[in-house]
Amino acid sequence: MKRFIQTLRNIYKIEELRKRILYTIGIIALYRLGSYVVLPGVDPSQLAALKNQGSSGLLGLLNMFSGGAFSNASIFALGIMPYISASIVVQLLGMAIPYFQKLQKEGESGRKKINQITRYLTVIITALQAPAYIANLISQLPPQAISPFDPNISTPSAFFWFSTVVILVSGTMFVMWLGEKITDKGLGNGISLIIMVGIMARLPFALFSEFASRMEMKGGGLVFFIVELVILILVILLCILLVQGTRKIPVQYAKRIVGNKQYGGVRQYIPLKVNAAGVMPIIFAQAIMFLPLTLAGFANSENLRGFAAAFTDINGLWYNVTYALLIVVFTYFYTAITVNPNQMAEDMKKNGGFIPGVKPGKKTADFIDSVMSKITFPGSLFLALVAVMPALVRMTGVSSQFAQFYGGTSLLILVGVVLDTLQQIESHLLMRHYEGLTKSGRIKGRTAGLGAY
């Protein structure tokens, strides 16, 4: 406790760090305030059906990522997810289209062009999603909820449609701008922090709801609740292992002669991550699993039949088996495009480095590729397990809202963003010769995943 208090004092002493933290808190507070500002023309007292829709199922996941703005019919209802979708599309284009590959190699100027393209694509995606959200509002809410000030109007006017689309697009772009401001002047990756805050905003409600439901049990309710918390902690530890787990490959650098002096070889290590793909496989897989619901037009899953019903039931066997398999496939896919063994082998060769017992060049590249394949397999299985964990715990009677925090994208984002932010704070402390947040002073963040945005 004494060390913790001293660390807080050290953080306060560093003026730059103190300003960055306060700036970040202020931007996050502004974002949370906006999530409660209801769209003009919508009666906030009649959102019960929308809140019920956003409490479970796939739409429950969307509502969680927006911090409840989806069920609040807020100006930030679509949240930052259109920007995430646009970023994923641009990344995929970078693998297939030479123009984007060229931009990626142009350094800072290329990055600015890619960011500009991502913003334009975000506007297009949001403009396509906004009418679907409005149609969902109309189908879920009573007629008087959309036009509360004129009971003679039974359907929303064209002006309502147009103005609401403009507001939703503007809301998403404003949230994106807030995230960029946090990245520039605050602490941590702004987009990731906004998503994390949205997820964390739902945690207290889910926790108290689960506690209340367990207390209503005739016997053993408190014991069940404690067991649930213990399992949650174990899953969090598993996520930390996924984020920080590495396999180190020793690299021996040859002797160098500078002037008349000879310097001995230096041994270093290449840290290959067990989960080099980060959270991206889950995001890709979840985007595909959202397709049946999107094609069904936000319909309730109980009204669907056949294929659509099977693949919109997040507790169903086929949904989770397909979801897990997609995650394993995308883990290998994303690892292959983020880790380039040939480039690593070439860089080692240029710098006079080699892996002991392995010939430089192609043999080194094959060795690194073999090691990556071996460590990616258990990493992909652990990632799939974490992703389907919410469905597993729901089978034990855990409420749908609380079960979402047992794994999937939400928990990995929480763990990854927290570690990234703590790593930045620790860097500021160590740079000023203060003690770090941990005794070792070596908090590891992510090298891939959502932080890349």
Lowest-pLDDT choice from 67-71, 204-208, 259-263, 379-383: 259-263
Confidence of residue 248 (pLDDT cuts 50, 70, 90): confident
- Quote the CA–CA distance of 78 and 175 in Å, as a whole number: 10
215 close to 222: Cβ distance less than 8 angstroms? yes
pLDDT tens digits, residue range 162-174?
888 999 999 999 9
pLDDT tens digits, residue range 179-205?
889 988 888 788 888 888 888 887 888
Mean pLDDT (the chain, rounded): 78
Domain ranges of the chain: 35-186
pLDDT tens digits, residue range 312-354?
677 778 888 888 898 898 888 888 877 888 888 888 888 778 8
Q: Which helix (H) or strand (E) holds 256?
A: strand 256-258
pLDDT tens digits, residue range 10-41?
777 888 888 888 999 999 999 999 888 888 88
pLDDT at 262: 47
Give first-to-last CA distance, the chain, whole Å.
Answer: 35
Q: Say yes or no to pLDDT of 453 above 50.
A: no
pLDDT at 445: 55
- Quote the CA–CA distance of 237 and 304 in Å, as a whole number: 37
Confidence of residue 436 (pLDDT cuts 50, 70, 90): low
Helix (H, G, I), strand (E, B) or coil at 441: coil
The pair of three-digit structure tokens given for residue 34, joined into one six-digit string: 């906006």
- Quote the CA–CA distance of 310 and 319 in Å, as a whole number: 6
